[in-house]
Chains A and B, each alone.
Chain A
């Protein structure tokens, strides 16, 4: 352990004294406050804060990622190129200890810098409303929609296999199957239709969604039903009349004594726009159960559909902004740890420029991994097995930086839950980074350290 620590501190000294870190640090220290003052977003205070947090964290994350790649690669490759490794590896230190030492050094440097810069971002974020003398109303809005961490629940997917099968058979029997279209495509289309149908209410019909595990931070605060209407025929005034019922629906169903209130809301809302209904959080049953009902008022005379992706969700404050911010920063740290392992791996068998190039390619691919997967999925339809056995596994091995993008949670004040964080840690560090590290150890243990000189 002592030797690992010695190597780690030496790596940190190297990064600091060779002024590798200085460039990034100065850039961030200058840029962050400037961004805080200059970014206006959509002109509102909330927009300003959202833009700053989003760009500030993204910039910090991007620059620290670059720094991690450079330091982790430089540290080992320069040791090998300038041969300091001759005097190090001939001391009582095992090769894996040397690699762990380098890795530990890079991670510690990352942690220190990340704490510094996230503290700066956090301080500026908290300070901005005071700086702009925000009104009471603005502050209240910010508290509800920005300085919070709202959990979002969406209705569980309904299994429609049976309905799809029946519909397909029906089409087949009546000979109305479209010609020249493969079965899978027809099934996919039918599934989509059926799913939409499950979220549609004909005039006079009531839809009920049930949610479990609703745990508002404070029952005296509000929860929000966020929804959007799609319609089969546009109503004359482009508005839909609906009666919403929110509460423990089981009390009505089984006729039990009312422990928690059930609230009704008669509303008229424009179609194809997001709306939020504020409901006191005390409607949630003690066991975390909540039902949301929507009655399509017959006078609408149209079918009302809640689009499957974002048609309906329940939002409630599940944690504080600070807690969410800390988890978002941890998400960045996971990225950095992965990249440090990647850099160490690359430097065990590649020279500095080649290793940098490889790592940058992987970093940028990981940043847009969702897009890559989608586009390759689309392209790969025609070369299915070649694709599924070559490119796809490689892309899947990459971490999904875009899926675990901290700004995606902080900007809409969505809860970044501990389980999600654990999932990110599990995927990025416990599986992918550890694999890289094992590979690095394997290569480094067997390679010859000295250069061939005769």
Chain B
């Protein structure tokens, strides 16, 4: 079993009412996605991305060919127990509230009540919907519904995560969070199949991509290989003097090459996150999602200890300091041009809102308690460290670095 996802001449033809072949939605698709790979399936609208995913999951039957997920049929419960799927829109039961929604999916996975409860809280926290967890999801905005959709895809801590247009309707923080999550999952040895036409998202996180058009693969390969401009070089420096710039320019001109010097600009994403982080720090009320970039605790541990973790975390464990400080590692995407500002922002967003965590806000004479992001409780940290002791692993958890 070399591949997490493998298709053999996968073909889907949609016929008309008389049974005549009408459209080749997917045509002779041969996909091979290795384990622990983040794979992007790109293509314009109607290129067959979603159809291919649906065949992988058994929602549609192939006209020809075969699709394997984790070495088996995606519709087989043994296999689907290890898959997380976020469809192109979050199709949720409008009458259930956020917590009940996750509980329902958790029960479909046969998760024991304790584990379910622990994971639901962690996921609600992660997608920033803890404050609105008791509201029916029918009243959620598109982005909030998307977040619940994402949470349900993660409740089984899947080995293979299939995300169809995951960032549609999400605000930049949510988008950023999904990207971070994908990278974190990859770090844990999971495989992610991402299907999108938002190229920036794919570019940021994918190892390999395939571009579909007319149901066929038009290009496939490593993102870096595909995008690398071998005929150009880029130099980024600190704030150096104009003289130094002139000297470098001269050096480049000696090499018979063109040279443009500009100051790099902040990305709009970075600016947006900065603004929202400031507002959150001032504890302004919101009825929407309270974004964090924190990732659900059970998702950030190594796979083999998953069950032990569930057991330990669901039982009260006495706090015990870790034997040595855990090594910290940033979850910030490595590929972005300027990781520095993002790091600061992430820490701002995740750091406890010290100034007024639960202070009632008086507005128009009414007292409102604002849905402030609750921090992951200390004991949990202790539990995880105990787990590390037990399993002899050094953690790479972002929470631990707080």
Q: Which residues of A contact B (CB under 8 A)?
A: 2-3, 5-7, 10, 13-14, 17-18, 82-94, 448-450, 452-454
Contact = CB atoms under 8 A, between A and B. Distances in A.
B271 interface: no
Nearest to B153: A87
A87 B152 contact: yes
A32 B127 CA distance: 49
Interface stretch (B83-91, B195-203, B290-298, B328-336): B83-91
A6 B93 CA distance: 13
B279 interface: no
7 contacts: A6-B104, A13-B96, A87-B91, A87-B152, A91-B80, A449-B60, A453-B50
A184 B48 CA distance: 69
B95 A449 contact: no
Contacts, number: 87
B107 interface: yes
B170 interface: no
Most chain A CB within 10 A, of B46, B83, B87, is at B87
Given A87-B85, A93-B77, A450-B60, A6 B91 contact: no
Interface stretch (B51-59, B228-236, B281-289, B341-349): B51-59
Given A13-B96, A18-B95, A87-B91, A452 B105 contact: no
Given A2-B107, A90-B59, A452-B60, 6 more contacts: A18-B95, A90-B83, A92-B81, A449-B58, A454-B14, A454-B46
Interface in B315-343: none
Most chain A CB within 10 A, of B25, B108, B156, is at B108
Interface in B93-119: 93, 95-96, 100, 104-105, 107-110
Interface string B69-86: 000001101101101010
Contacts of A82: 91
A10 B106 CA distance: 13
B91 A83 contact: yes
Contacts of B25: 454
A84 B85 CA distance: 12
A341 to B, nearest CB: 23
Contacts of A3: 107-108, 110
A454 B88 CA distance: 13
A454 B93 contact: no
A5 B59 contact: no
Contacts of A452: 14, 60
Contact of B108 (A86, A91, A448): A91
B93 A14 contact: yes
B95 A14 contact: yes
Contacts of B54: 450
Nearest to A5: B107
Contacts of B156: 91
Interface in B1-51: 14, 23, 25, 46, 48, 50-51
B48 A86 contact: no
A87 B60 contact: no
Contacts of B58: 89-90, 449
Given A448-B59, A449-B59, A454-B51, A6 B107 contact: yes
Most chain B CB within 10 A, of A5, A17, A86, is at A86
B87 A83 contact: yes
Contacts of B276: none
Nearest to B86: A87
B92 interface: yes
Contacts of A18: 95
Most chain B CB within 10 A, of A3, A84, A88, A454, is at A454
A453 B87 CA distance: 13
Contacts of A454: 14, 23, 25, 46, 48, 51
A207 to B, nearest CB: 68
Nearest to A89: B59
Nearest to A17: B95
A88 B107 contact: no
Given A3-B107, A454-B23, A86 B93 contact: no
A18 B57 CA distance: 30
Contacts of B92: 84, 87
B397 to A, nearest CB: 28
Given A14-B95, A454-B25, A92 B51 contact: no
A450 B59 contact: yes
Contact of B104 (A10, A85, A448): A10
A6 B106 CA distance: 9
Contacts of A86: 59, 85, 87, 91
B93 A10 contact: yes
Nearest to A82: B91
Given A454-B25, A454-B46, A454-B48, A92 B108 contact: yes
A421 B61 CA distance: 44
A449 B48 CA distance: 17
Nearest to A91: B108
Most chain A CB within 10 A, of B14, B23, B90, B104, is at B104
B134 to A, nearest CB: 14
A422 to B, nearest CB: 36
Nearest 4 pairs of A and B residues by beta carbon: A92-B77, A6-B107, A17-B95, A450-B59
B327 to A, nearest CB: 36
A452 B91 CA distance: 16
